[in-house]
Structure formats: structure tokens, C-alpha cells
């Protein structure tokens, strides 16, 4: 019997490598919910064996994965918890309250720290997989902590805290790159340590948890994500030389200006940290990313800290003399921020991001999404305030350059500032330039909001507004854009646009002439070759070389066409020579291409229709005028 069994056991192949889920459950001696929980926490997922030896309807796990689970300490913890729950239940049933309280005091606890390290051995790995955690935490931060949903209030608060800490980091290091208001929520993309991290936050409205989802699954995910993001935040804050966790300003938090609350703390702590550095030279908290640069920043840091301390004391005295201190303190903090980061070796992009809203002061109306806008404005170097207590400055502040409003009309209007819709901020951020505010003014329908994640050229369809934006961008690169103060007037804008258009045209012409020159040159070369009598194998070589160049191939074909008077594209004939595999692949690719093309055609069609409709709307007016005129003429 034993011999037979031994024979049956596979030693290689799919049957030895993979196991079904039920077998795994038997092996681990746990129930499905516990298995699910473990899988979620450990990041174990089913795999696809080449041959599904027990039928295609089953789920297969790798044997190594299951063995890995079997040695997980959490498995034991789970069992202990189960026993513990039983004990409590028993004690409760027997009304042994003293035992219940004693047991409750000694609840077996566990942590997921080791799982984080295990799943993400290096920090970059963790950053790479941060998209889902961040989205999840931002979602849970908005959840109602209601008992009926079985979402613990503690989790909700923790999620809120972690997401704010993350946002504070992003705002402070100016690593936010793209944002996008979609119907689903607001997307953000940040560049942290070279990793692009995209997350989605829901619109700040109450969430209704649907009935057909299993919240336990989500809570298990959130449990792990909380730990992961906590450690990531720690590492990020540590790299900035900040204390973690930051202490929130309770007053501001109560005012629902949490991000500001965290930021304030960061500002303060940064100050303290730098002070500490000054004291001890060997304290090397900053920039552990690259040890080469570590020494230099520290030195500059200490020098800066000194000067800053002097500045701060001076400012203190000044503020006591002149102004109410609350305002001034905040401004001082922001100044600190900027000084801090000036010396950090940062890439061009960061510098550009940091300077986008520099010297601009925003005031947020109470109807706009405050958290999102605060993050954006802070991340791009601006200063913002809002209507409410403990706000950094009042609405009546003279220095405010932009007030962000989202209402049909505004009662009192300050002439010194611009009243823009929130979309303006998002569009500015995506295009890295201060757009003319004329289209975004109060009460107008703003221009379409375009996704920054789309490569229009690759998609094959460029929306109209994208072209306008691109023109503006090229204009900015050419340094023709006037100072932000002047952008409001329509005349200058038009003038600008015309200038830009001229520029682009001239550029294109230049490019064309260059191309032609290249073409002529290659043609000459080929002619000489032909005269010399190089066989066509040689010509193959030249062709290969052309392919490497890539760009010129198309052009060459263009001029070869008239010579051969060939109506057939050469590729159509060459297709006959393709091996079967390639031929099928090619056909499949063509299907995809056609689908894409069909989509583009649909868009174009819709665009044309909408334009026609608009024209129609305008047309009757003109007609009426004409008839009116003619009638006048007839009568006159």
C-alpha cells in the first residue's frame, strides 16, 4: 500500500508543482475564510499551470506558496485567536465576568511588520506597488464608521491619518506630477524615488457601501495596507529628517483642514531637526538615498539652520512690533520650507513644479474641494487659505492673487484678484504653466478638462483644446509669455497666439527643408551606387541601414513610387512571404488597429456633428438678420 502511494506521488511536472485550493486547505488545516485572509496578507495568488491536471474549473496554487503559508507565524496566531474567542464566549456563557475581563486584558496580538519586509524586501518594491494601497486608504478615509457596515472607527481614523501623512509628504517634496478630475474621483500621480505612483481619491461626498460586497475582504486588505503605508511613510519622513508620526494640530483638524494641520507640524519639526543637526555633526538623517551627496547637504543644512534661526528671531521681534502674530508665524513656516529645499539636489521637474505657483496666494471658497486644492497648491509652491477659523489669512487679505470659486455668482468682488474655477488649478498643474484665466472665470463653462495620462499622438486623436494647450506651452518655452499679471486681457492673448502660430509654422518649414535636403542626399548616394554597379545584395544592406534610421524609410518610398508606377504597396506582396505565425499575429494586430481607427472615426464624426449643430444655431440668427435687412430695404 505504502509502496503504491509512493509511486503515485509525482516528483516533477505540473502535478508536483501545483495543488488545488481544497488540497491546500486540507494541508494547512484551516477553513476557507482564514485561508483567504492569509492569502491576502501574504500576497499569495493562484497560478496558472500549463496543464490543469484536475480540471479547468479548479483554482491552482503553487506548492511552494502553500508550504510558505504553512510556515507562517500568523497561522498559529490565528489559531490562538480562535481559542481565545472560544474562551471568552465560554466565560460569558457562564457569566464568569472576572474571567472575561482578565481574558480581554490579555488578548493575543499580532503585527504584520514581517510580512511587509517579506513581500517587499526593498523600499523600491514597496513603492512600486503603492497604487492600490493608497487608493484603498483614501477610500476608507471617507467611509462612514458605522456599526451597520462593520467598519471599525479606528480603521477609518487611521486611514485618514495615513493618507494625510502621505499627502503631506508629497506636498512637501513637490513630487506631485499630474492630477485629473474624473467622474470617478480625482487621480494624482507622484514621482517618488523615480517610481510613478498613481492614486485615486473619491469625491468628498458620502459613500454608500453596497450590499453585494464583502467588506471583510476589503478590511483585510486595508489591514495590510495600513501597515505597509505606515512603514513607507516612516521611511519617507525619515529620509527628510522628520519625526514620524507627525503631530496634528488639533484645532486645524477640527476645522477639517487636516492637511494643513500635518503640514504645520512638518514645518515645525523640520526646524527642530535642522537645529539638532547643527548640534551633532555625525547625525546623518538626511538623504540616505545616496551617500555621496549626504555630507554636503548636512553642512549646508547646518549653515542654513543658523541663518534661519537668526531670521526667525528677527521676524519674531518684527511681528511683535507690527502685526498680529498668528499670521506671521505661518508665513515664517512657509518661508522655512522653501529655504530648506532650496539646497536639495533636485531634478528639473521638481524645480519646475515648485516654482509654478510661487508668489501666488490663493483663497478657497467653501464650495470647492479643499483638501485636494490645498495639496495641489502646496505641492506646486503656492500659499492657500480658506474660509473658516484658524485659516492662515482672511478673505480680505490684499495679497490674494486668485480666489477659487465654484458658484454661479459672487457677491463681493475684489478687483485685485482673479476669481477662477477649480479646474484652472488642475489644468495649470498638468501643463506646468499658468494658463490664461479668461476661460475659467466665475460663472463660465470651463474648457474641457483633459486627461494628462493620455498620449494624444499615440492615440491618434488630438482634442482641440489639447492643441491650444500645446501652443501655449511652446510659447512659454520660447519665453514669450508675459508676466502672470497681464494674462487677463484678451488682446494680448490673441497676439500671443498669433506669434506662437508663426513660430510653429516657421519651425515646421525649417524641418521640412531639412528633410528634403536629407532626401536629396540619399538619392544622390544611391545614384552613384547604381553607376558603380553594386549588386542588389548591397542595396539590401543599404536598406537595412535605412531601417535603423527609421524616419527616412517612408520618405524614400514616397519618391520611389512614381518611378515604378506601382499601385500595390510592396508590403502587400511581402505578406505572402510571412511565416504562418507572423501572418496570424499580423492579422490580429490589424484587427486592433481597425478598432482603434473606428473609435477615432467615431470621435471625429461626433465632433463634426457638434460643430454643425453649433453652426446651425448661429445660422438662423444670420438669416434673420438678412431677412430683416432685406425687409428694411424693401420697405425703404
Partner 1 sequence: MRSSEKKQVEESKKAASNGAVVSDINGVPSVPDSAREDISNATSESEDEDWHNSSSDNDGDSSSISDNTDESSDEDDEDTKAINEAMLDYMGALEERRQREALGSEEEEPRSARTEVESDSSEDEVVPSRNTIGNVPLHWYKDEQHIGYDLAGKKIKKKEKQDQIDSFLAHTDGSKSWRKIYDEYNDEEVELTKEEVDMIRRIRAGRIPHAEVNAYEPYVDWFDWDGKGHPLSNAPEPKRRFIPSKWEAKKVVKLVRAIRNGWIKLDKPKEKPKFYLLWGDDLKATEKTANGLTYIPPPKPKLPGHEESYNPPVEYIPTQEEINSYALMYEEDRPKFIPQGFQSLRQVPAYSEFIKERFERCLDLYLCPRSRKKRIDIDPESLIPKLPKPKDLQPFPNICYLEYHGHTGPVVSIAVDPSGMWLASGSMDQTVRLWEVQTARCCRVWSLDGPVRHIAWNPRKDLGILAISLQSKVLLLDLELGTSDPDEVSKLLALNPSVMDNDGDGALVTWMKHENLKALEVKHSQEVLSITWHHKGDYFTSVAPDANTRAVLVHQLSKQQTQNPFRKLQGRVVTAMFHPSRPFLFVATKMHVRVYNLVKQQLSKKLMTGLHEITSMAIHSKGDNLIVGSKEGKICWFDMDLSTQPYKTIKNHHEDIQAVAFHTAYPLFASCADDSTVHVFHGMVYNDLLQNPLIVPLKILHGHSKTGGRGILDCCFHSNQPWLFSAGADSVIKLFCD
CB 258 within 8 A of CB 160: yes
Nearest to 141 by CA among 66, 229, 78, 45: 229
Determine if 448 is a binding residue for partner 1 (CB under 8 A): yes
Q: How far is the CB of 501 from partner 1 (least distance, A)?
A: 21
How would you class 378 by CB atoms within 10 Å of its CB: exposed for 0-12, middle for 13-18, buried for 19 or more?
Answer: buried
- Nine-digit cell string for 278: 547643527
Considering the complex, state which of residue 483 and residue 572 has its C-beta at the smaller distance from partner 1: 572
Q: Identify the sign of the CA torsion 557, 558, 561, 567.
A: positive
Determine if 94 is a binding residue for partner 1 (CB under 8 A): no
Instruction: Candidates 76-84, 196-204, 251-259, 615-623: pick the segment binding partner 1 (CB under 8 A).
Output: 196-204
Contacts of 594 (CB under 8 A, 6+ apart): none
Q: How far apart are CA 608 and CA 257, in angstroms?
A: 46
Q: How far is the CB of 312 from partner 1 (least distance, A)?
A: 30
Instruction: Candidates 96-104, 319-327, 469-477, 569-577: pick the segment binding partner 1 (CB under 8 A).
Output: 569-577
Among 19, 112, 135, 379, the residue binding partner 1 under the rule CB under 8 A is 135
Prior bond of 245 cis (ω within 30°): yes
**Count of residues of this chain found to bind partner 1 when the rule CB under 8 A is applied:** 122
Considering the complex, state which of residue 121 and residue 482 has its C-beta at the smaller distance from partner 1: 121
Among 202, 397, 470, 492, the residue binding partner 1 under the rule CB under 8 A is 202
Residue 468 host element (H or E) = helix 464-477
Q: What is the DSSP letter of 485?
A: G
Instruction: Candidates 254-262, 305-313, 381-389, 585-593: pick the segment binding partner 1 (CB under 8 A).
Output: 585-593
Determine if 185 is a binding residue for partner 1 (CB under 8 A): yes
Instruction: Candidates 250-258, 325-333, 385-393, 462-470: pick the segment binding partner 1 (CB under 8 A).
Output: 462-470
Q: How far is the CB of 413 from partner 1 (least distance, A)?
A: 18
The partner residues of 196 in beta bridges, in order of sequence, read 191
Three-state DSSP at 19 gives strand
Considering the complex, state which of residue 146 and residue 508 has its C-beta at the smaller distance from partner 1: 146
Q: How far is the CB of 16 from partner 1 (least distance, A)?
A: 14
Q: How far is the CB of 279 from partner 1 (least distance, A)?
A: 21
What does each C-alpha distance from 273 to 52, 268, 282, 390 come to in angstroms? 58, 9, 13, 25
Among 22, 295, 590, 625, the residue binding partner 1 under the rule CB under 8 A is 590
Q: How far is the CB of 133 from partner 1 (least distance, A)?
A: 11
Nearest to 173 by CA among 313, 381, 356, 363: 381
Q: How far apart are CA 282 and CA 205, in angstroms?
A: 49
CB 414 within 8 A of CB 400: yes
Three-state DSSP at 278 gives helix
Q: In what order do the strands lie in the sheet with 418-420?
A: 383-386, 361-364, 402-404, 418-420
What does each C-alpha distance from 147 to 31, 205, 209, 225 come to in angstroms? 26, 19, 12, 22
Instruction: Find the binding residues for partner 1 in span 32-51 (CB under 8 A).
Output: 36, 39-40, 44-48
Instruction: Find the binding residues for partner 1 in span 245-274 (CB under 8 A).
Output: 245
Instruction: Find the binding residues for partner 1 in span 278-307 (CB under 8 A).
Output: 288-289, 291
Determine if 139 is a binding residue for partner 1 (CB under 8 A): yes
Q: What is the DSSP letter of 246?
A: P
Determine if 144 is a binding residue for partner 1 (CB under 8 A): no
Q: How far is the CB of 210 from partner 1 (least distance, A)?
A: 6
Instruction: Find the binding residues for partner 1 in span 545-564 (CB under 8 A).
Output: 547, 560, 563-564
Q: How far is the CB of 232 from partner 1 (least distance, A)?
A: 9
CB 435 within 8 A of CB 424: yes
Q: How far apart are CA 308 and CA 325, in angstroms?
A: 18
Determine if 22 is a binding residue for partner 1 (CB under 8 A): no
For the CA atoms of the chain, what is the radius of gyration?
Answer: 33
Q: How far apart are CA 98 and CA 419, in angstroms?
A: 65
Considering the complex, state which of residue 87 and residue 216 has its C-beta at the smaller distance from partner 1: 216
Determine if 126 is a binding residue for partner 1 (CB under 8 A): yes
Among 123, 327, 334, 473, the residue binding partner 1 under the rule CB under 8 A is 123
Q: How far is the CB of 335 from partner 1 (least distance, A)?
A: 30
The partner residues of 418 in beta bridges, in order of sequence, read 402
Instruction: Find the binding residues for partner 1 in span 210-239 (CB under 8 A).
Output: 210, 212-214, 217-218, 221, 230-231, 233-235, 238
Q: How far apart are CA 553 and CA 36, in angstroms?
A: 56
CB 372 within 8 A of CB 396: no
Q: How far apart are CA 83 and CA 71, in angstroms?
A: 20
Instruction: Find the binding residues for partner 1 in span 55-74 (CB under 8 A).
Output: 59-60, 62, 64-65, 67-68
CB 193 within 8 A of CB 127: yes
Instruction: Find the binding residues for partner 1 in span 518-537 (CB under 8 A).
Output: 536-537
Considering the complex, state which of residue 1 and residue 445 has its C-beta at the smaller distance from partner 1: 445
Question: What are the two backbone dihedrals, phi and then psi, of residue 187, each rounded to the nearest 5 degrees?
Answer: -90, 145
Considering the complex, state which of residue 122 and residue 280 has its C-beta at the smaller distance from partner 1: 122
Considering the complex, state which of residue 121 and residue 326 has its C-beta at the smaller distance from partner 1: 121
Instruction: Find the binding residues for partner 1 in span 329-348 (CB under 8 A).
Output: none
Print the binding letters for residues 392-411 with partner 1: x by CB under 8 A, - otherwise: --------------xx----
Instruction: Find the binding residues for partner 1 in span 407-436 (CB under 8 A).
Output: 407, 421-423
Straight-line distance from the first to the last Cα atom of the chain, in angstroms, rounded to the nearest whole number: 118
Considering the complex, state which of residue 321 and residue 532 has its C-beta at the smaller distance from partner 1: 532
Q: How far is the CB of 589 from partner 1 (least distance, A)?
A: 4
Among 104, 118, 347, 508, the residue binding partner 1 under the rule CB under 8 A is 118
- Between CA 215 and CA 290, with CA 199 as vertex, the angle to 5 degrees is 125
CB 242 within 8 A of CB 222: no
Determine if 566 is a binding residue for partner 1 (CB under 8 A): yes
Determine if 15 is a binding residue for partner 1 (CB under 8 A): no
Q: How far is the CB of 628 from partner 1 (least distance, A)?
A: 31
Considering the complex, state which of residue 47 and residue 631 has its C-beta at the smaller distance from partner 1: 47
Instruction: Find the binding residues for partner 1 in span 359-398 (CB under 8 A).
Output: 367-369
Q: How far is the CB of 3 from partner 1 (least distance, A)?
A: 31
Three-state DSSP at 249 gives coil
**Beta strands of 316-381 (E only): which ranges?**
361-364
Among 310, 545, 604, 612, the residue binding partner 1 under the rule CB under 8 A is 604
Among 1, 12, 56, 122, the residue binding partner 1 under the rule CB under 8 A is 122
Q: How far apart are CA 173 and CA 381, in angstroms?
A: 10
**Which single residue is written with the C-alpha cell 491536471?**
53
Print the binding letters for residues 473-512 with partner 1: x by CB under 8 A, - otherwise: ----------------------------------------
Q: How far apart are CA 218 and CA 211, in angstroms?
A: 13
Amino acid at each position: 500500500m505504502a509502496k503504491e502511494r509512493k509511486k503515485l506521488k509525482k516528483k516533477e511536472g505540473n502535478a508536483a508543482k501545483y495543488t488545488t485550493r481544497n488540497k491546500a486547505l486540507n494541508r494547512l488545516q484551516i477553513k476557507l475564510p482564514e485561508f483567504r485572509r492569509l492569502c491576502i496578507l501574504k500576497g499569495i495568488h493562484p497560478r496558472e499551470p500549463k496543464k490543469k491536471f484536475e480540471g479547468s474549473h479548479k483554482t491552482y496554487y503553487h506548492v511552494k506558496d502553500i508550504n510558505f503559508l504553512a510556515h507562517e507565524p500568523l497561522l498559529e496566531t490565528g489559531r490562538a485567536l480562535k481559542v481565545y474567542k472560544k474562551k471568552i464566549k465560554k466565560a460569558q456563557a457562564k457569566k464568569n465576568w472576572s474571567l472575561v475581563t482578565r481574558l480581554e486584558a490579555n488578548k493575543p496580538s499580532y503585527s504584520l511588520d514581517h510580512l511587509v519586509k517579506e513581500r517587499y524586501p526593498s523600499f523600491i518594491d514597496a513603492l512600486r506597488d503603492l497604487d492600490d494601497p493608497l487608493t484603498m486608504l483614501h477610500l476608507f478615509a471617507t467611509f462612514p464608521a458605522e456599526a451597520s457596515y462593520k467598519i471599525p472607527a479606528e480603521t477609518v481614523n487611521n486611514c485618514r491619518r495615513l493618507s494625510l501623512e502621505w499627502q503631506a509628504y508629497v506636498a512637501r517634496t513637490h513630487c506631485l506630477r499630474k492630477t485629473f478630475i474624473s467622474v470617478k474621483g480625482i487621480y494624482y500621480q507622484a514621482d517618488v524615488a523615480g517610481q510613478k505612483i498613481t492614486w485615486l481619491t473619491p469625491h468628498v461626498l458620502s459613500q454608500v457601501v453596497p450590499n453585494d460586497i464583502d467588506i471583510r475582504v476589503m478590511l483585510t486588505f486595508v489591514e495590510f495596507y495600513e501597515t505597509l503605508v505606515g512603514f513607507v511613510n516612516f521611511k519617507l519622513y525619515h529620509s527628510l529628517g522628520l519625526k514620524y508620526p507627525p503631530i496634528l494640530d488639533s484645532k486645524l483638524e477640527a476645522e477639517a483642514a487636516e492637511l494643513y494641520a500635518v503640514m504645520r507640524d512638518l514645518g515645525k519639526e523640520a526646524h527642530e531637526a535642522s537645529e539638532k543637526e547643527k548640534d551633532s555633526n555625525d547625525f546623518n538623517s538626511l538623504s540616505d538615498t545616496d551617500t555621496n551627496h549626504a555630507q554636503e547637504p548636512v553642512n549646508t543644512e547646518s549653515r542654513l539652520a543658523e541663518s534661519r534661526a537668526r531670521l526667525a528671531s528677527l521676524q519674531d521681534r518684527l511681528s511683535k512690533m507690527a502685526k498680529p502674530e498668528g499670521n506671521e508665524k505661518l508665513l515664517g513656516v512657509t518661508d522655512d520650507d522653501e529655504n530648506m529645499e532650496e539646497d536639495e539636489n533636485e531634478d528639473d521637474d521638481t524645480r519646475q513644479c515648485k516654482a509654478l505657483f510661487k508668489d501666488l496666494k490663493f483663497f478657497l471658497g467653501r464650495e470647492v474641494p479643499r483638501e485636494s486644492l490645498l495639496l495641489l497648491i502646496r505641492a506646486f509652491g503656492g500659499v492657500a487659505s480658506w474660509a473658516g477659523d484658524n485659516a492662515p489669512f482672511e478673505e480680505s487679505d490684499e495679497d490674494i492673487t486668485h480666489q477659487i470659486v465654484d458658484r454661479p455668482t459672487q457677491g463681493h468682488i475684489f478687483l485685485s484678484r482673479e476669481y477662477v474655477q477649480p479646474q484652472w488649478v488642475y489644468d495649470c498643474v498638468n501643463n506646468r504653466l499658468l494658463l490664461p484665466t479668461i476661460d475659467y472665470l466665475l460663472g463660465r463653462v470651463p474648457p474641457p478638462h483633459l486627461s494628462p495620462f493620455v498620449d494624444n499622438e499615440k492615440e491618434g486623436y488630438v482634442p482641440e483644446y489639447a492643441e491650444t494647450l500645446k501652443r501655449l506651452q511652446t510659447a512659454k518655452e520660447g519665453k514669450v509669455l508675459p508676466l502672470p499679471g497681464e494674462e487677463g486681457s484678451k488682446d494680448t492673448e490673441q497676439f500671443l497666439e498669433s506669434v506662437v502660430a508663426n513660430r510653429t509654422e516657421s519651425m515646421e518649414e525649417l524641418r521640412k527643408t531639412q528633410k528634403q535636403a536629407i532626401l536629396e542626399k540619399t538619392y544622390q548616394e544611391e545614384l552613384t551606387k547604381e553607376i558603380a554597379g553594386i549588386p542588389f545584395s548591397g542595396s539590401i544592406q543599404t536598406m537595412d541601414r535605412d531601417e535603423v534610421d527609421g524616419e527616412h524609410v517612408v520618405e524614400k518610398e514616397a519618391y520611389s513610387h512614381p518611378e515604378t508606377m506601382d499601385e500595390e504597396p510592396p508590403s502587400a506582396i511581402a505578406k505572402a512571404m510571412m511565416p504562418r505565425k507572423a501572418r496570424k499575429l499580423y492579422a490580429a494586430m490589424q484587427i486592433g488597429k481597425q478598432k482603434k481607427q473606428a473609435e477615432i472615426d467615431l470621435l471625429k464624426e461626433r465632433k463634426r456633428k457638434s460643430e454643425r449643430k453649433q453652426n446651425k444655431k448661429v445660422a438662423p440668427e444670420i438669416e434673420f438678420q438678412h431677412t430683416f435687412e432685406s425687409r428694411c430695404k424693401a420697405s425703404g
